[in-house]
Structure 1
Amino acid sequence: MLHIAFYIRTAGPEWVTWAFQVERENGFVKRGITSKKKPWANIDRRLLDFALIDQVKYLYDVTEELNIKPPRPENEPTNTERQIPGYPSCFVRTPCQKTFEPSKKTLGQVAYYLRDIVGGQPKNILKLLPTTVPRWGGVRILDKGDSIRAAWVPSNQDEDRREATFVRFEMEMEREGEFAPTICYGTLLEILQFDLPEERVLGSFAGRPLMIAVITPASISGDDASEEIITYRRELQQVVVEMTGVVALAGRFKTQGHWVILDRTNGAVRPEFVAAEPE
């Protein structure tokens, strides 16, 4: 009976509301328990104390002054985050494999990516790429952006956990003989840090880190899911883009054999769920 909310008639089945909000509230309450014999007295005292603090905040307009835990500045890294030089718009996140060996396919794609920017021969660039690199487990985009997880990080198999690996990204694609930025969607597989040597052939990338996102793109043709309903059935071969090309976290759900993309980068989610007509 403890797990049946009193508002179940209004809110619907308990799995709709219990999984996140109530569990967080339980975590807040149980931190006040210090007695094994009288835990309920501890809970009562904790709730009463915080209610009194709230009343003082509202009566005397001292909300900021009485904040028990000041909010962390948005653009400061946590203990599990690191900012890579040359990438001021994001923090990479742990876990981190410091000596990961990228596949030959990935190394070749990175060489061609650099060729398209700085010129030169891909085979000469390939010789300069490190064969072991740090592989990061996630990234947080700054200025109230998203926290994204790489697909290689093991999941905890929690049904309520968001996937957090499907992203909106941009890459240069050839259209009508010209390269132009194109909106794409796909699964973020890996975040690789290539610490490049001081070599003139590398141009502006010489002597600095190159952050690469390895992504398997969805089979769509550059359409924007924030403006219209976009669906796809499969993912294509992996591509590599610089980390600055990863724009935001996107969502997706599967229905009738295809995936529907949810993109709220413009503040709205386009797909609409319509109630079935009564039989």
Structure 2
Amino acid sequence: MHLLENMFKNYISLFAGDFKHLGDGSEPFSIVSRIWAEIGTATVKANATIPSSFGRSIPNIAEERVYMTAESHLVWGTMYAPILLRGCFTHDRYYLHWRKFISIVERCIGFSSNAAERFKLRHDIREWYTEYERMFYQYKTERLPTCVLTVHAWLHLVDIIEQSGPLWSYWCWVMERFCGKLVRAVSSRKHPYSSLNRRILELQLTLHAIRHAYNLGDRIPPSSTMFNSEPPETYHDIDRYEELTLLHPKRSLSFARDGLNDLRRRIAVHLATVHDVSVAVAMMAIPETIVQWGRARIKDADIVHSHVGYPRREENQRNATFIQYEQQVDRNARWRRREVDMEAWTFFGRLDRIICCEVLPNQAMGIPEPEPLILLDVKLCNTERDAFGFYEYSTFRYSEIVDGTCLRALVGRILDRDKWVFVRRQGAMEHAEFIDEE
């Protein structure tokens, strides 16, 4: 944890041009103060569009670095910085050097690795280390302070992983957080346990008051004595949708009563495409009512909120409604005489509704009995990729219905130079994957 935090601090000081008052040396690599201030402002604004499950809110990196914690440095360095630092350096090689370091960080904290991956990681660390010396040390005696111990320690990380196991199994995050909680609670050195007991009682009374004042019985952690023993209703189809669990709030919708004819037609278009029938035939298989759910939990991953179906709105709420999904698309769709050539495409959009629809039996569609489907009503983003591989958009295209099996991940967004750029947690920060030794 300290190795990560100190390395990120050193890089930020180098980029801001205030690392031990050494300056840039023979070639300018620091970011202009005006641009650095804009990066700090963009960081604060991005907090509202990055889901809270991705990590804590980040302070202004240009003005409030003193409030940055180890977690803040990790979140900013791996999610915010790769987007906000694009095109900010005099030469792109400094940005590519930063991306190489972030790739090393993500692989070092991975939950599993094999011999081939560690061999490649060792090679990349040495290459990164050589670049670091050439760019910042510049092989000049007066710039030797840039080669701090925390830089050299990275050369030994792969050896440590092979000797002691993955870094996540013995890093300091949990211990540091627990110790900090204890220290803040103790106000008497003579009677420390009395102070701890008083603090626990105060927290319990505070939570009781908040729970009753705002009717938050369903939001209390299960480990708490105040937890409501009757959990809210969920929906999980283990056969068709093993990766998805639908969560409250739940509501029944009527197409006619609620004025949702456009939604019904989008469902019909989806069914017609899947079963290769006309929209009129597909329309006959749609029931009069459907069930709308507010949220969906992806297995071993995040909870996605629907824009319309989850009405909870708070002043400081962070947006968790944008998703990444994949669909099979015919490459030759524009040419009717060519054979079908299906290919998986990646799409991004805002999840407006999560629907559970029980399709009626239909002989033309090959459905002999009622078939429950989880459908996602998504407002598609007009997405394109930049020179560094990031997906970005500035406008929406249209709304479409996709099957729940297409959902891949919850994503965040950062507004950078008048375009929204998508952020997705990668590697160990996205899924916990435990693999047997065999």
Q: Confirm or deny a common fold (TM above 0.5).
A: yes
CA spacing shift, 1:179–1:48, aligned 2, 3 Å? closer
Alpha-carbon shift at residue 9 of structure 1 (Å): 7.8
Match of 1:33 in 2: none
* Correspondences of 1:135-174 after superposition (within 5 Å): 135-142=292-299, 144-152=300-308, 153-159=310-316, 161-174=317-330
CA spacing shift, 1:168–1:265, aligned 2, 3 Å? farther
Alpha-carbon shift at residue 165 of structure 1 (Å): 0.4
Match of 2:390 in 1: 229
CA contact 1:217–1:239 (8 Å) conserved in 2: yes
Question: Does residue 81 of the first structure (1) align with residue 234 of the second (2)?
Answer: yes
CA contact 2:347–2:380 (8 Å) conserved in 1: yes
Question: Does residue 250 of the first structure (1) align with residue 411 of the second (2)?
Answer: yes
- Indicate which of 211, 231, 245 corresponds to 2:374: 211
| Corresponding letter in the other structure for 1:166 | F
| Corresponding letter in the other structure for 2:237 | I
The gaps in structure 2 that reach 5 residues or longer are 1-63, 74-176, 183-191, 202-221, 224-230, 334-340, 431-438
Question: Does residue 238 of the first structure (1) align with residue 238 of the second (2)?
Answer: no
CA contact 1:194–1:211 (8 Å) conserved in 2: yes
Structure with more contact order per residue of length (Cα contacts < 8 Å, sep ≥ 6): 2
Residues 49-78 of structure 1: per-residue CA shift (max 9 Å, x gap): 9xxxxxxxxxxxxxxxxxx95xxxxxxxx6
The gaps in structure 1 that reach 5 residues or longer are 1-7, 18-23, 30-39, 50-67, 70-77, 270-279
Paired residue secondary structure (2:370): coil
Match of 1:11 in 2: 67
Match of 1:106 in 2: 263
* Whole-Å separation in 1 of the counterparts to 2:414 and 2:368: 38
* Whole-Å separation in 1 of the counterparts to 2:65 and 2:412: 29
* Whole-Å separation in 1 of the counterparts to 2:268 and 2:368: 12
Match of 1:186 in 2: 349
CA RMSD of superposed structures (Å): 3.8
CA contact 1:200–1:206 (8 Å) conserved in 2: no
Alpha-carbon shift at residue 96 of structure 1 (Å): 0.9
CA contact 2:386–2:392 (8 Å) conserved in 1: no
Question: Does residue 264 of the first structure (1) align with residue 429 of the second (2)?
Answer: no
Alpha-carbon shift at residue 181 of structure 1 (Å): 2.0
Whose radius of gyration is greater, 1 or 2? 2
Count matched residues.
Answer: 214
CA spacing shift, 1:224–1:206, aligned 2, 3 Å? farther
* Whole-Å separation in 2 of the counterparts to 1:253 and 1:196: 38
* Whole-Å separation in 2 of the counterparts to 1:9 and 1:212: 44
CA contact 2:361–2:367 (8 Å) conserved in 1: no
Alpha-carbon shift at residue 42 of structure 1 (Å): 6.7
Paired residue secondary structure (2:307): coil
* Whole-Å separation in 2 of the counterparts to 1:136 and 1:115: 24
Residues 119-172 of structure 1: per-residue CA shift (max 9 Å, x gap): 232202202201321111010011x1211000012242232x321101001123
| Corresponding letter in the other structure for 2:394 | R
CA contact 2:357–2:372 (8 Å) conserved in 1: yes
Residues 191-236 of structure 1: per-residue CA shift (max 9 Å, x gap): 1111122332332584121111000111115x599x8222211111
CA spacing shift, 1:103–1:48, aligned 2, 3 Å? closer
Paired residue secondary structure (2:408): strand
Alpha-carbon shift at residue 80 of structure 1 (Å): 4.1
Match of 1:4 in 2: none
- Indicate which of 90, 108, 117 corresponds to 2:274: 117
Paired residue secondary structure (1:198): coil
Bigger share in helix = 2
* Whole-Å separation in 2 of the counterparts to 1:83 and 1:98: 17
Paired residue secondary structure (2:382): coil
> Comparing 196-205 with 208-217, which one deviates more in the overlay?
196-205
| Corresponding letter in the other structure for 1:137 | G
CA contact 1:100–1:135 (8 Å) conserved in 2: no
* Whole-Å separation in 1 of the counterparts to 2:410 and 2:198: 37
Match of 1:220 in 2: 383
Bigger share in strand = 1
Alpha-carbon shift at residue 179 of structure 1 (Å): 3.8
* Whole-Å separation in 2 of the counterparts to 1:151 and 1:91: 17
- Indicate which of 343, 364, 367 corresponds to 1:201: 364
Alpha-carbon shift at residue 268 of structure 1 (Å): 7.7
* Whole-Å separation in 2 of the counterparts to 1:240 and 1:205: 23
TM-score, normalisation: structure 2: 0.43
CA contact 2:383–2:393 (8 Å) conserved in 1: yes
Q: Equivalent pairs: percent with the same residue?
A: 18
CA spacing shift, 1:214–1:200, aligned 2, 3 Å? same
Alpha-carbon shift at residue 84 of structure 1 (Å): 3.1
Paired residue secondary structure (1:123): helix
CA spacing shift, 1:180–1:46, aligned 2, 3 Å? farther
Match of 2:121 in 1: none
CA spacing shift, 1:175–1:89, aligned 2, 3 Å? same
